[in-house]
Amino acid sequence: MPRLPRRSDLSGADVGFNWGVTSVLIARLRSDLAAANFSVTALTGLWGVEADAALQRNQRVPARRGLAALQAKLGRVEPSATLAELFVLGLSVAQADLAAALPTLTVAGAEELGLVSAGVPVGAVAAGTNPSGAAELGLVTSLVPAGAKPSGAKPSGADPSGAEIDSAELPASAPFAPARVRPLVELRPYSFLDEFGADSWWIVSDLGELALGRPLGESHVLGIGGASRTLSGLIMPTPAGRVLDLGTGCGIQAMHASRHAEHVVATDISERALELAALNAALNGIDTIEFRLGSLFEPVAGERFDHIISNPPFVITPRTPGVPSYEYRDGGMVGDALVEAVVRGAAAHLNPGGVAQLLGNWEYRAAAPAAAGVEAGPTASVTDAFARLESWLDAPAAPGPVPFDGDAPAERPASARTTEYDRSTPSNGTEPADAPPLDAWVIEREVQLPSEYAETWIRDGGTRPGPDFDRLYTAWLDDFAARGVTRVGFGYLLLRLPATPDGHVGTAGASTLRRLERLPDALGHNPTGLGSHLAACLAAHDWQAAMDDARLLRAHLTVASDVTEERHFWPGQDDPTLMTLHQGGGFGRKVALDTALAALIGACDGDLNVGAIIGALAQLLDADEGDLSAELLPRVRELLDDGFLLPPA
């Protein structure tokens, strides 16, 4: 079973999972989900492609109509339809239908796992507290009669599923409806294709905005979203001994990492997130993940890894009272300091040659901050975000807590919020280390104005236009104006601790890679994700960086299989007026060609070495061979770095 941190590790109270009981229930759930064919393709078959698309837009009416039509046609309720209505659409279902869909686990077992709550009062949303013995995962609520308040509970608040509790609002005569069952979590099928083949999992997360009918709670544990899919597609599938998933959330990146790693350590500041992540790993039969509670690199102090993966809570959020702070997206620091903390801290936790991959936001800042309430204009003198990123890369750091102020304690438990650390030191309590600069490949995919960014993330939290939206909007723009932020970039970061040529353990080498580029265009076709392309480009870069020009001239190169050449001609002309090299996969790059470069690439079939090709071209073009070599070799190196040309096998 997955290793989950027991609270005795943090506070002396031994109240961890009772895996002896829980593992049996999880195995039964797994069996029932498989028997019901609860899969991505099955759901599409239940309600159709159009309903699938509507669900992506957070609209469930087409799916409900599809399920109703299917039931009318078949004259019965399919187990997969029951599970879909309950766990995907977030609607209550008949208890008898759920019993048929989960014959091995049973409804009682689903309650004990914290998946559902039975006995819903007519017209009620929820009310109650955790019953003894019914919340092995701490996710279940029991329901109390109208007007009764659970012992020790407040009359209103939120149950662990995120549903509002207000027993006072229940009608005095509200009867129980024990034949209905409501969901306490989302449980969705998830399918994917990577370098190791096609596979599918089931993922448990908190109920979303669609099921709740209101904005998300600040402790919400997110399921698989766009950012999760992006990062999982970026993960390089290179075999690794130890992998760290920093900020694991529901555990999806740790689960993906388990496919190429011997052992994965997954950390999060949220105990609830770790519980759900451990449940997901167990539900899908993954036993190589260890879960630890704490902020950033605190849970792995003094440890190093071959691969670090992180979808950190990088969303830039005002540190203003009244602005929600969602754990799944907000790291509690000012501006982009959270991303800086991860970048600076990575070097101290990578083995030589180890790679860190993460998503992030970064700020473009005007030379002088704008006045409060005034958005910095696009024509202001701007500090390029890449210059700030390079400063982070050139000054890695070693872990060590720093007090938030003079009165704060120097040490805090591993469960302490990131917000309790010094926001004036963006590295989050790290001191500069005597370490070499990191290799880095940073790819900016999108840039937003402060107003666009604010609108995006206010809507993401479930707030709709109105007075509250305007209040949050003002707070966001004031926060950006205080730092002179003119734009916010989003992209991918790939960092590597340089290794010596012989790969000597414990010794870092010199940096050879520093690429910061803007690639906003559509990606190429990558059915298994970008991870393999990134790994191949890194390997090609390392190969060519170790070659002087003389050795590169002796190399036999080939053109990648996804590369095509496009030529444009004036009508009636034999010579092309425009030649472009296209990459079908990877980043879908385009390279403008001249005659010499086009001819060189066309001849790279592995038979002739680069020097022989350039020599023949010099004669054909009546050019000096030395000058032609000086012109073409840098282009050859670039084409190797980008994956157009391949080094010898």
Q: Is residue 27 part of a domain?
A: no
Domain match, 265 and 374 both = yes
Domain match, 356 and 451 both = yes
Reported as a pLDDT band with limits 50, 70 and 90, residue 217 is confident
Q: Is residue 369 part of a domain?
A: yes
> CA 509 → CA 54, 439, 447, 546, distances in Å?
51, 10, 34, 13
Check which CATH number belongs to the domain holding 614 and give it. 3.90.930
Q: Is residue 193 part of a domain?
A: no
Reported as a pLDDT band with limits 50, 70 and 90, residue 155 is very low
Contact between residue 38 and residue 30 where contact means Cβ atoms under 8 Å apart:
no
Reported as a pLDDT band with limits 50, 70 and 90, residue 125 is very low
Q: Say what the pLDDT of residue 384 is.
A: 85
Domain match, 483 and 536 both = no
Phi-psi region of 11 (alpha: psi -120 to 50; beta: other; left: phi over 0): alpha
Domain match, 567 and 462 both = no
Q: Is residue 14 part of a domain?
A: no
Contact between residue 216 and residue 209 where contact means Cβ atoms under 8 Å apart:
yes
Domain match, 641 and 553 both = yes
Say which DSSP state 357 is in.
E
Higher pLDDT, 417 or 84: 84
Check which CATH number belongs to the domain holding 344 and give it. 3.40.50.150
pLDDT at residue 183 is higher than 70: yes
Reported as a pLDDT band with limits 50, 70 and 90, residue 197 is very high
Of the listed ranges 118-122, 197-201, 618-622, the least confidently predicted one is 118-122
Q: Give the other-Cβ count within 10 Å of 110's Cβ.
A: 27
The model's pLDDT over 572-587, given as tens digits with 9 standing for 90+, comes to 888 899 999 999 999 9
Domain match, 491 and 581 both = no
Q: Is residue 483 part of a domain?
A: yes
Q: How far apart are CA 270 and CA 328, in angstroms?
A: 9
How much is the average pLDDT of 513-540? 95
Annotate 228-247 with b (16+ C-beta within 10 A) or e (fewer): bebbbbbbbbbebebbbbbb
Using DSSP, how many helices (H) and how many strands (E) does the chain show? 20, 23
Domain match, 272 and 148 both = no
Q: Say what the pLDDT of residue 325 is.
A: 82
The whole-chain average pLDDT of the chain stands at 81
The tally of domains found in the chain comes to: 3
Domain match, 336 and 474 both = yes
How much is the average pLDDT of 460-477? 88
Q: Say what the pLDDT of residue 508 is.
A: 56
pLDDT at residue 319 is higher than 90: no
Domain match, 431 and 305 both = yes
Reported as a pLDDT band with limits 50, 70 and 90, residue 215 is confident
Identify any residues that bridge with 447 across adjacent strands, giving them in sequence order: 489
Q: Say what the pLDDT of residue 209 is.
A: 86
Gyration radius (Cα) of the chain, Å: 28
Q: Is residue 126 part of a domain?
A: yes
Domain match, 430 and 486 both = yes
Identify any residues that bridge with 556 across adjacent strands, giving them in sequence order: none
How much is the average pLDDT of 404-414? 32
Q: Is residue 450 part of a domain?
A: yes
How much is the average pLDDT of 487-516? 79
Q: How far apart are CA 27 and CA 519, in angstroms?
A: 45
Q: Say what the pLDDT of residue 383 is.
A: 72
Of the listed ranges 10-19, 315-324, 341-350, the least confidently predicted one is 10-19
pTM listed for this prediction: 0.82
Domain match, 473 and 401 both = yes
Q: Say what the pLDDT of residue 509 is.
A: 61
Tell me the pairing of strands 289-293 and 563-568. unpaired
Tell me the pairing of strands 514-518 and 164-166. unpaired
Q: Say what the pLDDT of residue 574 is.
A: 87
Domain hosting 546: range is 531-646
Domain match, 499 and 547 both = no
Q: Is residue 114 part of a domain?
A: yes
